[in-house]
Amino acid sequence: MLEERKKILSIKNLSVSFSQYEGAFRWKNLLAIKDLSLDVKEGEMVAVVGSSGSGKSLLAHSVLGILPYNATRNGEISFYGETLTEKRMRELRGKEIVLVPQSVSYLDPLMKTGLQIRKGKKDESSRQKSLEVLKCYGLERDTENLYPFELSGGMIRRILISTAVMEQPRLVIADEPTPGLHIDIARRVLSHFREIADEGAGVLLIIHDLELAVEVADRIVVLYAGTNLEEARASDFLEENRLRHPYTRALYRAMPDNGFSAEPGTQPYAENRPDGCTYAPRCEYVQEKCLKEVEYRNFQGGMVRCIMAGGEIR
């Protein structure tokens, strides 16, 4: 019998709001993430896709406990079944839970690469370990003596990953690790994350590029205007009618292999989010009842937030 894989990360009904000063002693509450749920199990790579501003980085920062000071988080985040409080996040961060940040400016420009990977430690065993990690990521030994400005974009990405995995984390959150990389290098970077998952850790991969996500991940979570509309198996993207939500189907049709057909319209900003289904203003199937709150529900081995799935949409 197959052993049940343990849940590493569980996020239930996450919301993140910002309070913003509007002037004249008025504050406005902006709901940037609304009712977002997902799990990552051992050995699994879950990709989160969504266009710019859909809440991907906020999701990552919520798990790490590094949201901006004016943000409020609600809902439940747990790690191996234990609720992640701010204190617990601080303890796990950089050790059991690591972030490969979106920005390459994360590296210290004045510190040699080797020292950055071992977080300033100078003892011989840390040095040996960092050399092994460099080798594992296809980087020469001498890379340890280089400064960030002497590295190519692809090398910097690999250094950021090396730095993250030095401590053998249980959960790796990678925030857009591929933009600006040549496609071959992007694939190589992603295959390193795949290996990390295959060795038993959980990987939450935040990525714009749906095609790459489908190639490498086990499951795909589709974010739209701060909430999730669908969770599908990567293999569901082989055929349009295996997908559950009209938005995911539109994304499918926009993929290069499927005709590149872009759909009209854009995702709403948090302050203009409609009541009910966030996708309703653009949806060809929209009906009166879509304007009420829509539940995120189990459907055909995945999840969907659409009342029409299984009915009008087959």
Ligand X SMILES: Nc1ncnc2c1ncn2[C@@H]1O[C@H](COP(=O)(O)OP(=O)(O)OP(=O)(O)O)[C@@H](O)[C@H]1O
Instruction: Decide whether 16 or 313 has the Cβ nearer to ligand X.
Output: 16
Tokens of 133: 């990690």
Amino acid identity of residue 129, one-letter, is: K
| Dist CA 34 CA 148 (whole Å) | 38
Structure tokens at 19: 């309070």
- Residue 16 CB, shortest distance to Ni ion, in Å, is 13
Q: Counting contacts by CB under 6 A, is residue 267 touching ligand X? A: no
Mind giving me the DSSP string for 102-137? S-GGGS-TTS-HHHHHTTT--SHHHHHHHHHHHHHT
- Residue 263, strand partner residues: none
For residue 227, state whether it binds ligand X (rule: CB under 6 A): no
50 binds, among Ni ion, ligand X, none (CB under 5 to 8 A by kind): ligand X
Tallying the residues shown for the chain, one arrives at 314
**Strand, coil or helix: 49:** strand
* CA 112, 113, 118, 123 torsion-angle sign: negative
Residue 34 is a binding residue for ligand X (CB under 6 A): no
53 binds ligand X (CB under 6 A): yes
Judged by CB under 6 A, the chain residues 54 through 113 that form the site for ligand X are 54-58, 68
- Residue from 15, 18, 93, 129 binding ligand X (CB under 6 A): 18
Q: Where are the beta strands (DSSP E) in 156-239?
A: 171-175, 202-206, 219-224, 227-233
In angstroms, what is the minimal distance from the CB of 213 to Ni ion? Answer: 15
Within 49-108, which residues bind Ni ion (CB under 5 A)?
Answer: 56-57
Task: Give the interface segment with ligand X, choosing from 46-54, 150-158, 246-254, 300-308 (CB under 6 A).
Answer: 46-54
Q: Which 18-57 residues touch Ni ion, going by CB under 5 A?
A: 56-57
Q: In what order do the strands lie in the sheet with 26-41?
A: 26-41, 7-23, 71-79, 82-83
Q: How far is the CB of 225 from ligand X (least distance, A)?
A: 9
Neighbours of 188 (CB within 10 A): 17
Select 57 or 248, whichever has its Cβ closest to Ni ion: 57
Among 1, 4, 23, 52, binds ligand X (CB under 6 A): 52
Assess 17 for contact with Ni ion (CB under 5 A). Answer: no
| Binding of ligand X by 32 (CB under 6 A) | yes
In whole angstroms, give the CA distance from residue 193 to residue 286. Answer: 38
Q: Side-chain half-sphere of 167: how many Cα atoms within 13 Å? A: 18
Among 47-55, 73-81, 104-112, 214-222, the segment contacting ligand X (CB under 6 A): 47-55
Stretch that binds ligand X, among 34-42, 52-60, 87-95, 112-120 (CB under 6 A): 52-60
270 binds, among ligand X, Ni ion, none (CB under 5 to 8 A by kind): ligand X
Residues that bind ligand X (CB under 6 A): 18, 30, 32, 50, 52-58, 68, 269-270
Residues that bind Ni ion (CB under 5 A): 56-57
